[in-house]
């Protein structure tokens, strides 16, 4: 089944403790992206990647890092999480054949 | 990337057609109009997209004005399960590359029994 898989789905952590949210897609898509969703603010793009080793900033990249060493994986890294990064995070990949963006189920992160 | 404007919320009676409007007056010639919906806090679900022509699939119809500055998503027979936040976005297809995309806050559709 074609899907975008995020892990963990839920995480509670403390300020400053590095964490990684993984994202994997099994559809051989070149394009992948990360979004965060906060009440009243909709979905805002954090980073995107056009292909392996090609990444660029979205609208809210501060405090985040990404890497794209292989096509299927696009992890989101929080080197030193802060409470303002408490949010719901979504990973997505783009099917260039169907011109459709497919989202993962989301990862709810709480930073204390 | 072009921005979109949608009403904050709408109600629709169950069984009736739900018509959700979207303005995208700064859309570029190579940008598509896409509609997604999000139920509770699940991942946004693709509904439909189009470039110039009206489109229909098993979920909905998309009507795009001739000048492409606005569009309407039509759910022909709304059910309670259609209660969700609906997002209208514009973005380039594969030929134009896929870059920054802004989802905005969408329209919260409440289907009423």
Shortest Cα distance from B64 to chain A (angstroms)?
18
- Chains A, B: CB contacts within 8 A come to 62
Radius of gyration of chain B (CA): 13
The whole-angstrom separation of Cα B64 and Cα B62 is 6
- Asked if A59 and B102 come within 8 Å (Cβ–Cβ), the reply is yes
Contacts B98 to A, Cβ<8 Å: 31, 48, 50, 94, 96
Residues 12-71, chain A, touching B (beta carbon < 8 A): 31, 33, 35, 37, 40-45, 48, 50, 56, 58-59
Check residue B39 and report its DSSP letter.
-
Contacts A60 to B, Cβ<8 Å: none
Shortest Cα distance from A108 to chain B (angstroms)?
9
Contacts B102 to A, Cβ<8 Å: 42, 44-45, 59
Contacts A105 to B, Cβ<8 Å: 42-43
Q: Mind listing the pLDDT tens digit of every residue in chain B (113 residues)?
A: 558 999 999 999 999 999 999 999 989 888 889 999 999 889 999 999 999 989 999 999 999 999 999 999 999 999 999 999 999 998 876 544 456 677 878 999 999 99
The answer to whether B34 faces chain A, any CB pair under 8 Å, is: yes
DSSP per-residue letters across chain A: ---EEEE-SEEEE-TT--EEEEEEESS--SEEEEEEEETTTEEEEEEEEEETTEEEE-S--TT-EE--SSTTB--EEESS--GGG-EEEEEEEEETTTTEEEE---EEEEE-
Q: Mind listing the pLDDT tens digit of every residue in chain A (112 residues)?
A: 668 999 999 999 999 999 999 999 998 888 899 999 998 888 899 999 989 999 999 989 999 999 999 999 999 999 999 999 999 999 999 887 778 889 999 999 999 9
- Asked if A100 and B49 come within 8 Å (Cβ–Cβ), the reply is yes
Shortest Cα distance from A80 to chain B (angstroms)?
25
Half-sphere exposure of A96 (CA within 13 A, CB side): 13
């Amino acid at each position: 089944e074609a899907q975008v898989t995020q892990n963990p789905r839920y995480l509670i952590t403390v300020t400053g403790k590095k964490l990684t949210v993984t994202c994997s897609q099994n559809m051989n898509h070149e394009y992948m992206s990360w979004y965060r969703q906060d009440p009243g603010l909709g979905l805002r793009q954090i980073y995107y990647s056009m292909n392996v080793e090609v990444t660029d900033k979205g609208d809210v990249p501060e405090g985040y890092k990404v890497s794209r060493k292989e096509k299927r994986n696009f992890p989101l890294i929080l080197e030193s999480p802060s409470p303002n990064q408490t949010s719901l995070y979504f990973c997505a990949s783009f099917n260039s054949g169907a011109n459709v963006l497919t989202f993962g189920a989301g990862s709810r992160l709480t930073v204390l | 990337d072009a921005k979109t404007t949608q009403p904050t919320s709408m109600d629709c009676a169950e069984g009736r057609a739900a018509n959700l409007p979207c303005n995208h007056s700064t859309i570029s010639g190579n940008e598509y109009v896409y509609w997604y919906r999000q139920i509770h806090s699940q991942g946004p679900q693709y509904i439909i997209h189009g470039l110039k022509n009206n489109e229909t699939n098993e979920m909905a119809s998309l009507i795009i004005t001739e000048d492409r500055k606005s569009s309407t998503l039509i759910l022909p027979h709304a059910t309670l399960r259609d209660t969700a936040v609906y997002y209208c976005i514009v973005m380039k297809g594969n030929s134009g590359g896929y870059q920054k995309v802004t989802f905005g806050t969408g329209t919260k559709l409440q289907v009423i029994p």
